Amino acid sequence: MGDVLSEPSTAPVQLAQVSYRYPSARGFALRDISLTVRRGEFLGIIGPTGAGKTTLCLALNGIVPQFYGGKFYGRITVAGLDTLSVPVNTLARYVGTVFEDPETQLVTTSVENEVAFALENLSVPRAEMRSRISWALQVVRLAGYEKRHPYDLSAGQKQRLAIAAALAVRPALLVLDEPTSQLDPMGVREVFAVVRRLNRELGMTLVMVSHAAEAMAEYADRVAVLDAGRLVALGTPRQVYAQVGMLQGLALRPPQVTRTFHLIGQWREVRTPLPVRMAEARPRLPHLAAQLPPSCPPPPPPAEHQSPPQLSVRHLSHTFGDGTQALRDVSLEIRAGEYVLIAGQNGGGKTTLVKHFLNLLQPTAGQVLLDGVETRTLPISTLARRIGYVAQNPDQQIFSTTVQDEVAFALRNLGVPPDERRARVRGSLTAMRLWERRDAHPLALPRGDRTRVVIAAVLAMRPDIIVFDEPTTGQDFRGARAILEITHQLHRQGKTVIVITHHLYLMAAYAERMIVLRDGQLLLDAPLRAALREEQTLAQAYLAPPQAVQLARALGQLGARPMPWITPEEVAACFAPDGGRV
């Protein structure tokens, strides 16, 4: 596969008392961090939003402070180079970087040219270049997309492309800032497995920021925890993720297997340390199964919605101008007041489907009806009042120069009176914890906050149906739960809620029904609790059930009884002495 760039030195990454403050900031983004990343190590970095994770990544490639300016203290050396004095373009030969937002890295007009771009700048021989391009695209499941324009890809596919471009260079240090946030669950594991293989076979040093706790626990050598710019914990995944109390205090999420055993430990004997990987948990399951009581609390019954269909999709197909068939004869109905999860592989047709609801795309064949009326016959203003849409890239929906003007934008265009408009703006921004940032420019906010701005603007419209397209991307656990609690409140108010996400572990407590798309076709449509147990069907769409579902199935098999539990809390509740909820 070629050699990792290793000149002038393969010295470990070293940070010595590093502190940094952005030019216009009052406080420090990094505070007195000293850390050595060993040669060939896979270091994971976790922390809540604002902890300094991205700033640390930018410091490793010299962009901080060389591009941003500000006050920098201490010293960082990577591959023997001082990141404060060596130019960024020189550091780029030894430090590869994948940012959270792939669109900031895409600069060419085809997928293969994107992967070739850095290789050409490094004067890689043509034959070797072609081999690396082919290999990298196969790794990220983009083989066959070589001639596609990057901006014709889905958000998850764009992220895969950015990863492929970085992998093809095979630098001494690969820095990845939330590289899997928009990928399907199997894609997350594939990327972790691939970079781990590069780490093992080529000695490539990896630094990865990720909220994917299960994958991080499986593949990282060590995990560093940041909070408010400080390094507050450092150790093996078992040492870090087993500290459930510490993680909860920082609003961080341990792997589901760890949380499940932690909760069971309130009622039953659970050996320590807590497992952080499924492989560690499986040998302990017979002991737990022997402690199962005769009966467990029954799961809540599936919700029933008897109202007429609010949205009807009839034999819907869509083919893009380049010939890509994104939807193939999809038929389904969504009733008023439902909470529906739409999932599937990257590029499976999820966003294409919901864009038809708003007439942002028109069918190649078939039709979409809103309360029995075909959407292509309805004015955009009518659809905007009835259906709110939060896009997966918030920047595509931001038009104004302040947060409060952004939320007021559509209300003003629809003629909402000034007093009511101001009340709606304040209410929406308060609900999204953004009132204090009302005068900030939306594009100056972190991606997670920009998503909340768009959600606030949609909430202010008070639509009957709200579609959230990957709303938890870029959010820490606290932020993701906060957004999903908003969706839950809207659902309790009688709104129809449709959420597209790969984060199935988050949705178990919220959604009622799950629709799965694969290659533009309807693969599964079932109540959520039943759908999450269809492991083989989910795998066809590169999905996997959450670890709590896997644990419940294994315990049920050992206990010779069905255990239809889908959250750590439900599994643990079965062990409670009174059979109550945790």
Identify the DSSP state of 41.
-
CATH of domain 309-531: 3.40.50.300
pLDDT at 349: 95
The pair phi, psi for residue 347, each rounded to 5°, is 75, 15
Span 406-435, pLDDT tens digits: 999 999 988 899 999 999 999 999 988 899
Q: What is the pLDDT of residue 9?
A: 47
pLDDT of residue 576 exceeding 90, the answer is: no
Residue 183: the pLDDT is 80
* Cα separation, 291 vs 270, whole angstroms: 11
Higher pLDDT pick, 32 / 451: 32
- Using CA atoms, how far residue 238 sits from 13, 55, 117, 193, in Å, is 23, 26, 39, 19
Helix, strand, or coil (residue 440): coil
Q: How far apart are CA 85 and CA 357, in angstroms?
A: 53
CA 306-509-454 angle, to 5 degrees, is 85
Helix axes 126-139, 111-121, angle to 10 degrees: 130
Say if pTM beats, i.e. exceeds, 0.95. no
> Has residue 447 got a pLDDT over 80?
no
528: Cα separation from own chain's centroid: 20
For the cut 50, the answer to whether the pLDDT of residue 11 exceeds it is no
Give the percent of the chain with pLDDT over 70: 97
Delimiting residues of CATH 3.40.50.300 domain(s) in the chain: 13-243, 309-531
Percent share of the chain, pLDDT over 90: 68
CATH for 13-243? Answer: 3.40.50.300
Q: Please determine, for residue 2, whether its predicted confidence score (pLDDT) is greater than 80.
A: no
Scanning the structure block, which residue is given the tokens 């010595």?
Answer: 16
Residue 560 tokens, joined: 């010779």
State the pLDDT at residue 154. 81
Give strand ranges (E) for 492-578.
496-500, 513-518, 521-527
Query: What is the phi/psi pair of residue 250, to 5°?
Result: -100, 10
**Contact present, 317 and 325 (Cβ < 8 Å):** yes
Mean pLDDT value across residues 375-387: 90
Highest mean pLDDT among 92-96, 108-112, 396-400, 480-484: 108-112
Instruction: Give the pLDDT score at 105.
Output: 87
| CB-based contacts of 375, cutoff 8 Å, min separation 6 | 356, 357, 358, 359, 368, 369, 383
Q: What is the pLDDT of residue 529?
A: 95
Residue pLDDT, tens place only, 309-346: 999 999 999 999 888 899 999 999 999 999 999 999 88
The three-class DSSP label of residue 344 is strand
153 pLDDT exceeds 90?
A: no
Highest mean pLDDT among 136-145, 174-183, 245-254: 245-254
Q: What is the pLDDT of residue 271?
A: 86
Under 8 Å CB-to-CB from 348, ≥6 apart: which residues?
Answer: 517, 518, 519, 520, 541
**Amino acid at residue number 31:** R
Mean pLDDT, residues 301-310: 89
Q: Is the pLDDT of residue 479 over 60?
A: yes
- Of the chain, the end-to-end C-alpha distance in Å amounts to 50
Is residue 123 predicted with pLDDT exceeding 70?
Answer: yes
Q: What is the pLDDT of residue 180?
A: 84
Cβ contact 453:299 at 8 Å: no
Mode of pairing for the β-strands spanning 13-21 and 30-37: antiparallel
pLDDT tens-digit series, residues 544-569: 999 999 999 999 999 878 889 999 99
Least confident of 58-62, 196-200, 483-487, 517-521: 196-200
How many Å apart are CA 472 and CA 482, to the nearest integer? 9
Cα distance between residue 136 and residue 55, in whole Å? 27
DSSP state of 378: S
Strand order in the sheet with 205-209: 95-98, 173-177, 205-209, 42-46, 222-227, 230-235
Say what the pLDDT of residue 71 is.
97
pLDDT of amino acid 231:
98
The yes-or-no verdict on residue 1 having pLDDT over 90 is no
Q: What is the pLDDT of residue 579?
A: 54
Least confident of 180-184, 523-527, 576-580: 576-580
CB 546 within 8 A of CB 566: yes
Which of the four pLDDT bands, split at 50, 70 and 90, describes residue 121?
A: confident
The chain-wide mean pLDDT, for the chain, equals 91
Tell me the per-residue pLDDT of 454-475, one tens digit each, with 9 for 90 and over.
999 999 999 999 999 988 887 8
